[in-house]
Amino acid sequence: EAGVAQSPRYKIIEKRQSVAFWCNPISGHATLYWYQQILGQGPKLLIQFQNNGVVDDSQLPKDRFSAERLKGVDSTLKIQPAKLEDSAVYLCASSRAGGREEKLFFGSGTQLSVL
């Protein structure tokens, strides 16, 4: 079974620029998550999709972050404009149906450096 795919692997931008990350979940997984992991901390949920609908985006900084999951498969996360504090690893995860006791499968993440 192929895992969660993310690209790019690394990205370096200057503050105020925009950036986009891409995620392809495990085939058949209805639930997709974007997490932000700042160095030295645990991942923090940004947004959760169930198919192509948003279940939870309460911790997404909506003034600069946006995410979409068209057709309920791939997803993109965008930051515009980026700030220095956005430097982090952005992890995508998926699960079969999003139930409370389902395993989440994580991708390797995109490491973003904002200079």
85: exposed, middle or buried (Cβ count in 10 Å: 0-12, 13-18, 19+): exposed
- Pick the piece of the chain touching another protein (CB under 8 A) from 20-28, 36-44, 62-70, 71-79: 36-44
Q: List binders of another protein among 55-94 (CB under 8 A).
A: 55-56, 91, 93
How far apart (Å, rounded) are the C-alpha atoms in residues 87 and 81?
13
| SS3 assignment, position 4 | coil
Among 45, 64, 72, 73, binds another protein (CB under 8 A): 45
Closest CB to another protein among 61 and 81?
Answer: 61
How far apart (Å, rounded) are the C-alpha atoms in residues 71 and 97?
16
Closest CB to another protein among 55 and 115?
Answer: 55
Closest CB to another protein among 8 and 16?
Answer: 8
How far apart (Å, rounded) are the C-alpha atoms in residues 45 and 58?
9
Chain residues that interact with another protein, rule: CB under 8 A:
4, 31, 33, 40-45, 48, 50, 55-56, 91, 93, 98-109
